[in-house]
């Protein structure tokens, strides 16, 4: 798998912002994102990833799922409970990132059913650094 798109949303912004790279801080999240926690993120709140094929299949574009990283390839669900690397940063897959009513309100009716168990992955950032488009995702 590889990083295909990076999106963050600042707390005061209405839309997701597309980036070429972003700084990931261990235990806190992505710099500039609304879910960056200076005091420390709760488990699974630091990073979200989703498979690009799933995004396209349900008729959305990267960023519309509100996940921070859209990746090419398959296997995100397999990373639950495992350590993995995104480029130079190290992460831990905490749980599946299931779709919510808020996502459905922002997109279209039925998106929750379309994304059940395919909505992505919530992860912790264990070792920080920079994530860039094209970075490989590798299980450790």
Using CA atoms, how far apart are residues 132 and 136, in angstroms rounded to an integer?
9
Mean pLDDT, residues 83-111 taken together: 92
State pTM to two decimals.
Answer: 0.94
Classify domain 2-139 by CATH number: 2.40.33.20
Give the pLDDT confidence score for residue 23 in this predicted structure.
Answer: 98
Q: Are 51 and 74 in contact (CB under 8 A)?
A: yes
Question: For residue 33, what are its two tokens?
Answer: 């994102």
More confident residue, 105 or 81: 81
- Among 27, 47, 48, CA closest to 38: 27
Q: pLDDT tens-digit profile of 101-136?
A: 888 888 889 999 999 999 999 999 999 999 999 999
State phi, psi for 27 to the nearest 5 degrees. Answer: 75, 0
Task: Work out the average pLDDT over 66-81.
Answer: 96
């Amino acid at each position: 798998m590889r990083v295909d798109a990076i999106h963050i949303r600042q707390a005061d912004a209405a839309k997701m912002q597309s980036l070429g790279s972003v700084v990931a801080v261990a235990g806190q999240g992505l710099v500039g994102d609304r879910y960056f926690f200076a005091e420390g993120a709760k488990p699974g709140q630091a990073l979200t990833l989703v498979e690009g094929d799933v995004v396209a299949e349900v008729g959305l574009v990267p960023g519309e799922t509100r996940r921070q990283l859209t990746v090419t390839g398959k296997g995100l669900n397999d990373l639950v409970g495992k350590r993995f690397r995104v480029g130079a940063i190290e992460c831990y897959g905490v749980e599946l990132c299931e779709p919510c009513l808020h996502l459905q309100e922002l997109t279209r009716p039925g998106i929750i059913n379309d994304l059940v168990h395919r909505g992505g992955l919530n992860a912790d950032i264990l070792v920080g650094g920079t994530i860039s488009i094209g970075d490989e995702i590798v299980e450790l």
